[in-house]
Structures are given as C-alpha cells and as structure tokens.
Structure 1
C-alpha cells in the first residue's frame, strides 16, 4: 500500500459495519463496470469510473436503501 501511496481503511475494533456502505459500492462497481472491461490506459479507466459514478450510479441507478430512488432523486425528494 505504501508503494502506491494508498491509505489503509480499517474498521474500529468491534464495529463490523464501519465500512459496509463503501464495501457494497466497491462490490457493485466491480460487478457492473470493472469485471470484463478492457481498459487500454489508466486514464481510460479513470474516465469510465467517473462516467459510471456521475452519469449512472448517482443519477439513474436505484438503491434499495434509498427507497428505490437514485441518490439524486432521493436528495431532491427528502432535502428541505
């Protein structure tokens, strides 16, 4: 991890669900975008991940934890 400048994400002792939302997101993006993809450059991979998050995941993909709304729709519906 040090070689790539990454910071480890470790749950606090006794808190099993500390990272559950991010782990769920990582599983989803791997299943829906990464597996089977053939990126030719790191830049292409970054662009595809950005497009997936900003143009699909946040705006169109329904989330069961958000009453089957996209994050954007949920914010519109429940923000004051």
Structure 2
C-alpha cells in the first residue's frame, strides 16, 4: 500500500459493519450481472458493468435501506426543510 501511496481505511478490530453497504453492492453486482455473463475480455466486462450500474442499479433497482427507492430517486427527492420558529421578543 505504501508503494502505491494508498491509505488503509480500516476501523476497530471486530467492527464488521463498516463496509456492509459496499459489500452488499458488490454481492448484488456479482449475483445479478457478473456471474450471469461470460466476458470475452476486460474491456467488455468494464462496459457491461458500467452499463449495469448506470442504466439499472442507480436509476431502477430498489433498495430496502433507501425506503425501497432507487439511489437516483433517493438522491432526487426534495429534502424536508424544518420550519424555524423565531421568538417575537427582539
């Protein structure tokens, strides 16, 4: 890692939930796309995986952790703005 100037990102020992969202993404990617195909070469695999992420995973695939919205729909939803109560005393 030092040779490639990469900073290690690890948390406390035994904290297995740190990467659970990312690990779930890669599992979904493998199960729903990669293991269903046979790629002729690395470029074909890259194009297909990019297509999966851009055309399906982000805009279409529903995620339970996002309230059964796609990532694109979750990001596009308007954020709720709380009303600020101001005191009438000046």
TM-score interval w.r.t. the shorter chain?
0.7 to 0.9
Q: Which residue in 2 is equivalent to 1:31?
A: 31
Q: Which residue in 2 is equivalent to 1:17?
A: 17
- 4+ residue runs of structure 1 moved beyond 3 angstroms? none
- SS of 1:56's equivalent in the other structure is helix
More displaced stretch, 70-79 vs 25-34: 70-79
CA offsets per residue over residues 3-61 of structure 1, 9 Å max, x none?
xx7x6x66312322111111000110000001131100100000001000011000000
| Bigger helix fraction | 1
Instruction: State the number of aligned residues.
Output: 76
Q: TM-score, normalised by structure 2?
A: 0.72
**Unaligned residue ranges in structure 2 (runs of 5+):** 81-90
Is the alpha carbon distance of 1:43 and 1:52 closer, same or farther for their aligned partners in structure 2, counting shifts above 3 Å? Answer: same
